[in-house]
Every structure is written in structure tokens, then in C-alpha cells.
Amino acid sequence: MTAIGETPAEVGKARVRKEDARLITGQTNWTDNITLPGLAHVAFLRSPHAHARITRVDVSEARNAPGVFAAFTGQDVKDEQGSLPCAWPVSEDMILPDHPAMAVDTVRYGGEIVAAVVARDRYAAADAIELIDVDYEELEPVLDMREAIKPGAVKVHAEGNKSYTWELANGDLGAAFNDAPIVLDRVYRQQRLIPAAMEPRSVVCAPVGDEYTMWSATQVPHILRLMLAMVTGIPEQSLRVIAPDVGGGFGSKLQVTAEEVLALLLAKRLGRPVKWTESRSEGNVAVHHGRDQIQHIRLAADADGRIRGLDVDLLADMGAYLMLVTPGVPILGAFMFNAIYKMDAYRFNCTGVFTTKTPTDAYRGAGRPEATYAIEHIMDDLAAHLGVDPLEIRERNWIKHEEFPYDTIAGLTYDSGNYEAATARARELFNYEGLRKEQSERISASSPVRLGVGVSTYTEMCGLAPSRVLGSLSYGAGGWEHASVRMLATGKVEVVTGSSAHGQGHETAWSQIVADQLGVAFEDVRVLHGDTQVSPKGLDTYGSRSLTVGGTALVLACGKVREKAKAIAAHMLEVSPEDLEWTGGRWAVRGDPDQGKNLAEITLATFAAHDLPDGVEPSLDSDATYDPDNFSFPHGTHLCAVDVDTETGRVKIRSYVAVDDIGHVINPLIVDGQVHGGLAQGIAQALYEEAAYDDSGNLVTASLADYLIPSAADLPSFVTDRTETPSTGNPLGVKGVGEAGTIASTPAVVNAIIDALRPFGVTDVEMPCTPERVWRAINEAKGGAR
């Protein structure tokens, strides 16, 4: 399908990113840098209570404060604000409560918007916010999922605290568990996390007549435009959404937020442009959170450790409301608990629970990190139970490379993979045997600092997604992606992608692909994205989908350019198109390579259109919309060594080896960056991060002084390497790498800690494995202080 020419391949080169120079030298506009004539600034008053009835909101003093243009309450906007959208009703009877952008009579989490001020600058707006008087009648918070679903529990919504129950089952689970020689029964907890993208959210909305342009730090300009139209009733064609350079998202900007809807409504009301930019502490309470599950997992195995069945019951915290894809996130995990392993029976059951906490939604990995953590943890438990090496127990159960394509118990078809190769490479780089030896020496010497080795042989599903599959899961949209290629008269190329980058490096990787596909120079390709007027079709960037889906659309569009060029080249050369072959940017006569036309020549001739074949339109420009047939399945083996100071509980990562198989690599530098960042984020879940609430339902980690994000100073030097088993599902043979590091690393680290402490009798440490928790786990296992 691809026609890589004789020109040196761009794909595979460690190109420095095109976009970085402007990003790191201030030569760009982040949303918050945008200023417009007459721009007004919005500040929001947020609920200080987790759960309360609003009995009075008085904004009169704020309205009269210096520099204030207007102030609004929920009552003021209730007739036009609609309900914030949820695009993923996972079941027909799912409870989908009304979600006002501004609370009208009840607040259900600390941080929910209660009032808004529009003023001449941010300072005046923030000052006026302090003049707003709100009377609350406090209600009991709902903080514990297990309590929330008990009869008689305080209700977050009148309809009840259980949003939905969703089940997937395959095989005879009863038979698998009955008389199974080994049954492991575990409960793991996925703590709540805060995505904390580098750039806080920001939105600017400008009205021009009845039309509106919105700039937003969003991952999803196309989805945002559609949803804004549906929520507010403003016609879709009157809305333009621009995602300028966006500083990270990790899922947190895969959202249609209250602030975006309100910015649009306030701009409409006032007839002037408005801007809102959040502070970090505002973001910590108001950006959707991630993870937060209680995972009950049971595994039945034969005496030799072969898995017979797996039974998973999840409680997933939705928070106070269902946001864009909130209910679907844990369900993505349904297809991943079985991971790389073969088994006879599987059941997955998930109950979505409302609490009076910030809503949850997609966070890097979205469903797959949770599943991978649980299965990789229990695989280690199984190995320990049998006294078998954790890599050995995995090998006994994993799908062999010759068994692909493989239909999994969860209903997916893994197209390719080679777990043996990735594991062998990781073992070698890690010095697995040497570390195991050192580990036993330390145990023999009763060393106070123990060594632990953690294993994670993960896979994940990405390349979201085949539209038919999304439809079968009741998702509200498809999973295709769009690309356009415009040939400029000078032979340069403009590429438009519907996959809106927010840090991934599309401009570089897409240029590399186009350079090879069309035989043009890397520098001659310009990539445009993130503006619904420039790239009208697209489904944006999440779920490691850009390259597998958007990249394939690009390859298909380039193919159409080549085919159009072929007909014109044949006419120019006065030969039949069948006599031509593509030789790296040039259509040449087969057997007579001197006779040919390169793409620049053909493009110019097409532009002039003086002598085109009859019926051929004077344009090489081409579009393609690609809907994948299958997901892609990156996999790999991550090995982590930790030193655990048993006197203090401190964990130090000593070495970390990540061998990932993401298929073909377009740009190894970008891939390494994705892996490093992913590892940092996954390690952060294992060791540092937790969105913690007090008994009243206040988020006590509302600042980065309390919500601990690791820096480079806290992380080891990573050893990364790759094996390459191409995906068979797309012409580039790529799989996606945006989330793999996050998915793989959390269990690798926690398994390493537990591995170090198993001699004391420790079988689990709840995440994040803080020094205090590790110290207590050791003490408890020793029968000492809890």
C-alpha cells in the first residue's frame, strides 16, 4: 500500500521537533496570551462545600464593584445553559443526571461553579468574586463508594447513587472456579488522580454578530464545537473552535467544560469577547479527575499456575456528574484485565457510583492502567503463591508469538505481538539474574535496605477506534479520522489533520510521513490542525489514536495525490498510466527511468491547467477519512528495581528498563519522550500522587504543595528500548505510544515494592506507596504497630 521511494526515508529518523523552537522561545500564542479589543475577564465563584443546597446567591455588591461589567448566578443562566454533555451512555438504564454548567439550587462537589463575574481585568474580577454572598444549607457529603451504594445512603442525585452496572462475560466461570486448585481473591484500590497538565485550562470566546469563535486549551476542538452547538442551541455552522498550541492534556482536556459553555453564554449575553484562565488550585478542584476504583479481582488457576478464570468486580467513582466520557472510562478496562494471558472464562462487572467529589473522566490510559495494574499485581501474587519466578508464571500463560492473530476471552482480536522477544530483551538490559542474586544476598544478610524487582508485561488497546465497535459500546460518535493534503503550486505541501495535537509532535511526525509518501523534503511540509475552520473534519486526539488512525488517513490521502498525479504525468509524458511507476517522488516510465515527471513538475502543470487530460480536474488535493477495522495493541515488558529502606519506608527506584513494542517507529526521539513522560506519570501514581479528601469532602490536595508531582530529581535514568512487531491493521504498521509508559509502569513499581517486602509477609501496599504506608505495611506484617 505504501510506496516508500528511493529518497532516503524520513520515517524512522530522530528528527528534532519542528514545533519546539516556537514553543520554548515564547513565539506562540497559548490561549491565555490571546488578547482582543474589548476583552473582558471572567472569574468564577466556586462552592466551598462538597454537598449543599443553595438558598440564596447575592451578586448585587459584586455587580457594583469597580471595573465589573456583569455578574451572574445559576438562576440567571438556567434557561440557556442546558446540561453539560455525556457522550457515552453505557447502558439503556444508566442514570444520567442533569449537569448544569453553573449550579442552580444544589452543589455536589467542592469547586462547582456558583456564580460568575465579568470585569475589565482578572484582578477586578477576582476582587468582585469576594463580594458575592451565598447562603448554603449544608448536606451530608457522599465520599465512600461502598457506603454510597448501600440502601439509605445520602443521595447525590434524587435518582440514586448507582449510575449503571455493566457486564461482560465469556466462558464458563463456574467451571473455571469450581475445584480450581488455586483461587486468589484480592481487592486493590486505584486512588484518585489529578491530571495536572503543564498548561492550565484557558478559554477565550469572541462574538461577531451571531457567530462565535472560541479559542480553548482543548484536546478536542471538533467535539467541542459539536457539543457546544448541541448544549446551547447555537447552530454548529456559527461556531468556530480553535485549539492553539496546547500545553498537554492527558485526557483532562478531552472534555466539554462548564467554563467553555459559560464563556460562550457570557460572550453572547454581553456581546463582547471574554477570557477565563484557571489558576492551578482552581484547576485541581475543577478539572476532571482520573482513576478512582475499588477493584475486586478473583483468579482461578491450575496447580501449575495456568489461569482458568478471572472474575472482576469494579466500583468506579464517577464523582458528582457524568462528563463527556466518564461512564465509559472504566469499561475500556473490561477488554484489558485479561491482558496478554489465555484463560477459559472471564467476567467483568462494573458499577459506576456517584459521590460528592469532582467528576472523573479520561486520564492518560483511561481504563487500561487500572486493568493492567490489577492483572499484573495478581500475576505476581500467583507467582509468589506458587513460589515461581514472576516472569515464568507470565510465560506459562501468555499468548505465544505464533498464536497471533489471537481472539481474546474479552472479545478482541490481537493482530500481532511477540511477548517473548520483548521480555528477553528487557531481561538482558535489566541484568535480571544479577539483581535476583543481590536480592537474596540482602535477605540473607538481613539488610535494612531490601531490593525488589517488579515486572509488568503489559498490553493495551489503542488507536481508538473502529466506529462499529464504539457503536456497540453505545458511544455517541465514531472513531474515524480525517486528513487532507494540499499541493501548493511551488511543490510545497500543506497537510491538514483532524487529530489535534497538544504536545505530541504531530507537525514533525506527520511531515516525516508525508515526506516519504510524496517524495518531498521534510521542510517542505506544513501541518495544520486544531481549528475547525482550517480542519473542518476530525475527531481529535486521545486514546493514542493519532498515528494509527490519523496517520493512516494521511497515508491514504497521499496515495490519492499520487494517483491523481499519475494520470496527469502519463498525459505529460504521452504514455499510458499503466506504464508508469512511482520512484520516490517521481512518476517514471517503467524500463525507461530517464523519462519521468517529479511531483513538483506535475503539481505546477496541474496548477497551470493548460494541458490536462480531458475530464481531469485541475487539482491534486486529496482527502481521506479512515475508519480502522481494529484497535492496535502495543505491548512490552517493563522491569523495575527498587531499594526499600525498611527503617523509614522510603522507596528509591534504582533502575527501570522499558522495552516497548509499538510496531514501526516514525520518530524515535518523540517515542522516547512519550515513554519517559508516561513512565514519570505511572511512577507518580505508584509512589506520589493522590487526590485526597477530608471527612467533610474538601479536597486537601488543592495545590501542588500538597498534590505531589515528581520532578526529574525524583526519577531514575530510564533505560528504554524497543522490539518491532508491526501492527497488521494499518499501512504504517504502527500501534501508538501515548499511554503505554503510564499503563505499564505503575504495576512495575508497586510489584517491585511488594517483591522487596514479601519476605516480611507483605502482600499489598495501597497506592500511592508513600514512605509511611510502606513502613506501616512492614510493621503490620511483623505484627507490630499499625
At position 121, the amino acid (one-letter code) is D
Which of the residues 696 through 735 are near other proteins (CB under 8 A)? 700-701, 703, 705-706, 708-711, 713-714
CA 748, 752, 758 angle in degrees (round to 5)? 140
Q: Which is nearer to other proteins, 263 or 683 (CB)?
A: 683
324 contacts 192 by C-beta, under 8 angstroms: no
- Residue in 500, 41, 24 with CA at minimum distance from that of residue 277: 41
DSSP secondary structure code for residue 549 in this structure = I
Q: Which is nearer to other proteins, 387 or 783 (CB)?
A: 783
How many chain residues touch other proteins (CB under 8 A)?
30
Which of the residues 321 through 340 are near other proteins (CB under 8 A)? none
- Residue at grid coordinates 464458563: 172
- Residue at grid coordinates 453505545: 474
CA distance 681 to 687: 10
Handedness of CA 558, 561, 563, 565 (dihedral sign): negative
Smallest separation, CB 668 to other proteins (Å): 29
Smallest separation, CB 772 to other proteins (Å): 5
Lookup: cell for 695: 471527612
Q: Which is nearer to other proteins, 54 or 65 (CB)?
A: 65
Q: Which is nearer to other proteins, 2 or 281 (CB)?
A: 281
Three-state DSSP class for residue 140: coil
Write the CB contacts of 575 (distance below 8 Å, at least 6 apart in sequence).
589, 595
3-state secondary structure 322-361: CCCCCCHHHHHHHHCCCCCECCCEEEEEEEEEECCCCCEC
Write the CB contacts of 693 (distance below 8 Å, at least 6 apart in sequence).
50, 143, 357, 699, 700
Which of the residues 741 through 780 are near other proteins (CB under 8 A)? 770-772, 775-776
Q: Which is nearer to other proteins, 53 or 652 (CB)?
A: 652
467 forms part of the interface with other proteins (CB under 8 A): no
269 forms part of the interface with other proteins (CB under 8 A): no
- Interface with other proteins by CB under 8 A: which range of 112-120, 240-248, 627-635, 644-652? 644-652
- Residue at grid coordinates 488522580: 193
* 279, 472, 490, 533: residue in contact with other proteins (rule CB under 8 A): 279
* 688, 731, 758, 763: residue in contact with other proteins (rule CB under 8 A): 688
Phi, psi of 774 (to 5 degrees): -65, -45
Q: Which is nearer to other proteins, 413 or 696 (CB)?
A: 696
Q: Which is nearer to other proteins, 523 or 647 (CB)?
A: 647
CA distance 21 to 17: 8
Smallest separation, CB 56 to other proteins (Å): 23
Smallest separation, CB 433 to other proteins (Å): 31
Smallest separation, CB 701 to other proteins (Å): 7
Q: Which is nearer to other proteins, 300 or 686 (CB)?
A: 686
CA distance 175 to 518: 57
- Residue at grid coordinates 533505560: 719
- Residue at grid coordinates 535514568: 717
Lookup: cell for 506: 504531530
Smallest separation, CB 694 to other proteins (Å): 9
Q: Which is nearer to other proteins, 91 or 281 (CB)?
A: 281
- Interface with other proteins by CB under 8 A: which range of 179-187, 499-507, 554-562, 646-654? 646-654
Phi, psi of 626 (to 5 degrees): -115, 130
How far is CA 141 from each of CA 428, 501, 514, rounded to the nearest angstrom?
A: 52, 38, 54
Which is it for strands 290-301 and 307-319: parallel, antiparallel or unpaired?
Answer: antiparallel
CA 282 to chain centroid, in Å, comes to: 22
Smallest separation, CB 688 to other proteins (Å): 6
Give the strand order in the sheet containing 651-661.
Answer: 449-459, 635-645, 651-661, 718-722
Instruction: Annotate each residue in 650-679 with x if it binds other proteins (CB under 8 A) or - if it does not, as one string.
Output: x-----------------------------
Smallest separation, CB 165 to other proteins (Å): 34
Q: Which is nearer to other proteins, 282 or 516 (CB)?
A: 282
Smallest separation, CB 716 to other proteins (Å): 13
Lookup: cell for 41: 475577564
Q: Which is nearer to other proteins, 534 or 715 (CB)?
A: 715
CA distance 82 to 691: 29
Smallest separation, CB 60 to other proteins (Å): 20
- Interface with other proteins by CB under 8 A: which range of 26-34, 554-562, 569-577, 645-653? 645-653
Q: Which is nearer to other proteins, 123 or 590 (CB)?
A: 123
647 forms part of the interface with other proteins (CB under 8 A): yes
* 55, 440, 490, 648: residue in contact with other proteins (rule CB under 8 A): 648
Smallest separation, CB 683 to other proteins (Å): 11
Q: Which is nearer to other proteins, 1 or 712 (CB)?
A: 712
CA 255, 259, 264 angle in degrees (round to 5)? 105
Smallest separation, CB 569 to other proteins (Å): 58
Q: Which is nearer to other proteins, 126 or 528 (CB)?
A: 126
- Residue in 354, 356, 296, 363 with CA at minimum distance from that of residue 329: 363
Which of the residues 98 through 137 are near other proteins (CB under 8 A)? 122-123, 126-127, 130
781 forms part of the interface with other proteins (CB under 8 A): no
Smallest separation, CB 704 to other proteins (Å): 9
- Residue in 291, 293, 290 with CA at minimum distance from that of residue 146: 293
Smallest separation, CB 785 to other proteins (Å): 7
- Interface with other proteins by CB under 8 A: which range of 9-17, 151-159, 396-404, 643-651? 643-651
446 forms part of the interface with other proteins (CB under 8 A): no
Smallest separation, CB 123 to other proteins (Å): 6
Q: Which is nearer to other proteins, 469 or 749 (CB)?
A: 749
Smallest separation, CB 700 to other proteins (Å): 6
As separate numbers, helices (DSSP H) first and strands (DSSP E) second, the chain gives 21, 28
Instruction: Render the burial of 482-499: b for 16+ CB within 10 Å, e for the rest.
Output: bbbbbbbeebbbbbbbbb
Smallest separation, CB 446 to other proteins (Å): 15
CA distance 378 to 376: 6
Q: Which is nearer to other proteins, 637 or 770 (CB)?
A: 770
Smallest separation, CB 675 to other proteins (Å): 21
Q: Which is nearer to other proteins, 3 or 126 (CB)?
A: 126
Half-sphere exposure for 659 (CA within 13 Å, toward CB): 20
CA distance 79 to 496: 38
Q: Which is nearer to other proteins, 39 or 126 (CB)?
A: 126
Write the CB contacts of 649 (distance below 8 Å, at least 6 apart in sequence).
770, 771, 772, 773, 774, 775, 776, 778
For other proteins, the binding residues (CB under 8 A) are 122-123, 126-127, 130, 279, 281, 647-648, 650, 687-688, 692, 700-701, 703, 705-706, 708-711, 713-714, 770-772, 775-776, 785
